[in-house]
Amino acid sequence: MQPDELKALRKALGWRQGKLDAALGLSPGYVGKMERGQKPIEKRTALAVRYLALTGGVNEPAMVAVPRMKLGVQYDAD
């Protein structure tokens, strides 16, 4: 995902950067840094943003839990 796509998806949701920060469990201002290309957009972040865009942010979860992978073993998100 490129910074302009992240910004376009956030705007399509009608969300401010701070709301997306909170939904993704990121520190305040991190989405802005990703949108400006100052921070990398990790694959799990891109997937979570695309999920929110597809669902329209339905039920607006406090945080989108994306399971982490380690050495091919999937751990459930807490």
Span 19-71, pLDDT tens digits: 999 999 999 999 999 999 999 999 999 999 999 998 887 655 444 555 555 55
CATH 1.20.120: does it fit domain 3-56?
Answer: no
Q: What is the pLDDT of residue 56?
A: 80
Q: What per-residue string of b and e applies to 5-36 under the rule 16 or more CB within 10 Å gives b? A: ebbebbeebebebeebbbbbebeeebbbbbbe
Long-range contacts of 21-30 (CB under 8 A, 24+ apart): 22/62, 22/63, 23/52, 23/57, 23/60, 23/61, 23/62, 23/63, 23/64, 24/48, 24/49, 24/63, 24/64, 25/63, 25/64
What is the pTM for the complete model shown?
0.72
Is the pLDDT reported for residue 7 higher than 90?
Answer: yes
